[in-house]
Chain A
Amino acid sequence: EVQLVESGGGLVQPGRSLRLSCAASGFTFDDYAMHWVRQAPGKGLEWVSGISWNSGSIGYADSVKGRFTISRDNAKNSLYLQMNSLRAEDTALYYCAKDMGALRALSPFDYWGQGTLVTVSS
């Protein structure tokens, strides 16, 4: 059974940093691309970042480019999101999602975690 478990969320002040983690199990992690998708309270889904199976291809939404960094450790079956210079508008539930393919594009997201909540407020 595929499982994606996010952690690392919490309350953080504007301008500070936070690192999210996603622990994956139930599939061969290094065969697939992975993504972070967020959802602000009461709002829709926003793709944040994606990374290919071997970290060779990485992409970011314009709203986070230069502030967030995605990475993965295939030996630990884990995905990460380093979030710097956080803003109030980054407040959201952050989901880890598995891609159906190995590249970070051209395939949909077939499994999702339950999310970790990030609240940016002073």
Chain B
Amino acid sequence: EIVLTQSPGTLSLSPGERATLSCRASQSVSSSYLAWYQQKPGQAPRLLIYGASSRATGIPDRFSGSGSGTDFTLTISRLEPEDFAVYYCQQYGSSPAFGQGTKVEIK
């Protein structure tokens, strides 16, 4: 079973700043089966990134993903007011699993 650990738990930033979120896996994630989701209060999660670096349909290009093996990163180049939310990484191998989440809050 692959365990995903996200850091930091909370990221306090201002609009316009760059956000860098980390997701570390307990063992290598095959073929970059790694996704990122955004969840706002009272809403369902939304797929942002899959295959570690491919943006989902309709996702702005300020969101980017990178990494391979056990270390993955979600970067938001310039935070917009609507980007303050909780972000989850997910590996979607044989037994999917999510990280515990990183909250991006307004500083």
With both beta carbons as reference points, the residue of chain B lying nearest to A100 in the complex is identified as B50
B interface secondary structure, majority: loop
Question: B11 at the A/B interface (Cβ < 8 Å)?
Answer: no
Is A95 in contact with B44, judged by CB distance below 8 angstroms?
Answer: yes
8 contacts between A and B (CB under 8 A): A44-B99, A44-B101, A45-B101, A105-B94, A109-B35, A109-B90, A112-B45, A114-B44
User: Taking the nearest CB of chain B, how far is it from the CB of A95, in angstroms?
Assistant: 6
Q: Are B44 and A110 in contact (CB under 8 A)?
A: no
- List A residues 45-91 near B (Cβ within 8 Å): 45-47, 50, 59, 61-62
Contacts A105-B94, A108-B35; is A45 near B45 (CB within 8 Å)? yes
Closest 8 CB pairs of A and B: A112-B44, A108-B35, A108-B50, A45-B98, A47-B96, A44-B101, A105-B94, A44-B100
Q: In whole angstroms, how far apart are the Cα atoms of A95 and B94 in the complex?
A: 19
List A contacts of B50 (CB < 8 A).
Answer: 100, 107-108
In Å, the complex CA distance between A29 and B101 comes to 30
B97 neighbours in A (Cβ, 8 Å): 47
- For chain A, the count of residues having a C-beta within 8 Å of the partner chain is 22
A45-B88, A112-B44 known; A105 and B93 CB under 8 Å? yes
- Given A109-B90, A112-B45, 16 more pairs with CB closer than 8 A: A35-B96, A44-B88, A46-B98, A47-B96, A47-B97, A61-B95, A105-B93, A107-B92, A108-B35, A108-B50, A109-B37, A109-B45, A109-B47, A109-B92, A110-B47, A112-B44
| Count of interface residues, chain B, beta-carbon cutoff 8 Å | 24
Interface string of B74-104 (1 = CB under 8 A from A): 0000000000000010101111111111000
| B1 neighbours in A (Cβ, 8 Å) | 62
B94 CB contacts on chain A under 8 angstroms: 59, 105
User: In the bound complex, what is the Cα–Cα distance between A107 and B30 (angstroms)?
Assistant: 12
A115 to B42, CA, bound (A): 10
- A105 and B47 in contact, given A44-B98, A46-B98, A47-B97 (Cβ under 8 angstroms): no
